[in-house]
């Protein structure tokens, strides 16, 4: 699981890259999911964006999260394809 450091904004990119650098199995990649803390952080950002808007720092955190989420989705698709070939 990756985590978010909610005090300093989103820090999940480094954690996801570190996870992937250890060459996890396809099953481990498919099991990868955000921590409860990250889920709550993202829900809070979404709610704040709907109500009052995000600060520049929060917008940057959101963009970083979107990028990491994209990387994880790509990794999961590749893992699923690899499992299907086995």
Q: Give per-residue pLDDT as tens, 44-70.
A: 999 999 999 999 999 999 998 999 899
Q: Would residue 20 count as lying in a domain?
A: yes
Q: Would residue 48 count as lying in a domain?
A: yes
Q: Which domain holds residue 37?
A: 12-85
Q: Would residue 17 count as lying in a domain?
A: yes
Instruction: Count up the domains in the chain and report the number.
Output: 1
- Is this structure's pTM higher than 0.85? no
Residue 35 or residue 12, greater confidence: 35
At 15, is the pLDDT very low, low, confident or very high (cuts 50, 70, 90)? confident
Q: Would residue 59 count as lying in a domain?
A: yes
Q: Would residue 5 count as lying in a domain?
A: no
Q: Would residue 7 count as lying in a domain?
A: no
What is the largest distance, in Å, between two alpha-carbon atoms of the chain?
49
């Amino acid at each position: 699981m990756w985590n978010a450091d909610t005090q300093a904004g989103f820090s999940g990119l480094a954690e996801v890259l570190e996870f992937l650098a250890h060459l996890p199995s396809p099953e481990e990649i498919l099991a990868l999911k955000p921590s409860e803390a990250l889920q709550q952080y993202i829900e809070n950002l979404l709610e704040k964006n709907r109500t009052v808007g995000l600060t520049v720092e929060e917008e940057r955190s959101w963009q970083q999260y979107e990028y990491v989420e994209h990387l994880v989705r790509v990794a999961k698709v590749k893992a699923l394809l690899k499992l299907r070939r086995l």
